[in-house]
Chains A and B, each alone.
Chain A
């Protein structure tokens, strides 16, 4: 699927493939019993980001440029990085084993004590909003800042583009 997205020159089809890709990963998360992540992936990845990409696409040409030939340096960098990442995965602990370091740190406390501490059954919600609420606060700030960034980028160009339309009218009035 990802290779199809890469090879696609038609950006509209690429966006649709992206949406399908997100939906497939959402169902994968649902199969892995990660309901919160699946819901987020389906709502954000397949839903909102597709709409926003389509809106952005309606401002841009539909087909990708042919590109400027091949870039050898980029190929070397990508190959080296990919090879080192694959090499690093050999040292990872086995998938899903109970004695992995990630299951030894704070996770057992959260899983065992969160119902007594907070009294709600969804551990994800209690971790996100209570144990790790400063992280979530930072996340909200990031979203807010992203909104301000889009506002500055698109709002500013709009005002600048409208000025040349208004200026000649003012000039005529003073004459």
Chain B
């Protein structure tokens, strides 16, 4: 697929738009349908499209496998950290009101945005991890069959 000019050009054009749409869904999720889960999936889809057209190695050069694992954990920890922060600041677990004292609405919105960001990071990273593992496995199997032929 790397040699198909049409695919390469169209993909180059589409990937930024898909990523932009993912970010829009992520950060506009309070006003229109959307949120971290959908945004993470769409962001990962852009990366998978890149991996399909330009090859897994090129895609792993952009976001290495290790970074995917770190990101997956960072998202979960961000969500949990916000939850614990509510306890530390004198509220209950995942209580957003103490985050910004005196402005419950602002605090709720800040909490929702941060929490959704955590969801988005984790979902995107996990989808990328699953794709990487499957595609990598495909390569291992191809290597094995080649060795059997040899």
Contacts and interface: CB of A to CB of B under 8 A. Distances in A.
Interface of A: 35-36, 38-40, 43-44, 47-48, 51-52, 55-56, 58-59, 117-122, 124-126, 128-130, 133-134, 136-137, 139-141, 143-144, 146-147, 150-151, 154-155, 157-158, 161-162, 165
A117 B103 CA distance: 10
Given A48-B41, A122-B32, A147-B126, A129 B134 contact: no
Contacts of A146: 126, 130
A158 B139 CA distance: 10
Contact of B38 (A43, A59, A133, A134): A43
A112 to B, nearest CB: 16
B112 A120 contact: yes
Nearest to B113: A129
A165 B141 CA distance: 13
B119 A121 contact: no
Contacts of B76: 140-141, 144
A120 B44 CA distance: 27
Contacts of B115: 129, 133, 136
Nearest to A122: B30
Contacts of A157: 137
Interface size class of B (residues with CB under 8 A): 35 or more
A35 B38 CA distance: 11
A136 B45 contact: no
Interface of B: 25, 29-35, 37-38, 41-42, 44-45, 48, 69, 72-73, 75-76, 79-80, 83, 93-94, 96, 104-106, 108-109, 111-112, 115-116, 118-119, 122-123, 125-127, 129-131, 133-138, 140-141, 144, 147
Nearest to B34: A39
B31 A122 contact: yes
Contact of B123 (A39, A55, A56, A143): A143
B33 A36 contact: yes
A17 to B, nearest CB: 20
B135 to A, nearest CB: 6
Contacts of B73: 144
B79 A140 contact: yes
A87 B33 CA distance: 35
B133 A151 contact: yes
29 contacts: A39-B25, A40-B37, A48-B127, A52-B134, A59-B134, A118-B108, A122-B29, A122-B31, A122-B32, A124-B33, A129-B112, A133-B83, A134-B94, A136-B79, A139-B119, A140-B75, A140-B79, A140-B123, A143-B126, A144-B73, A144-B75, A144-B76, A146-B130, A147-B129, A147-B130, A150-B130, A151-B129, A154-B137, A158-B140
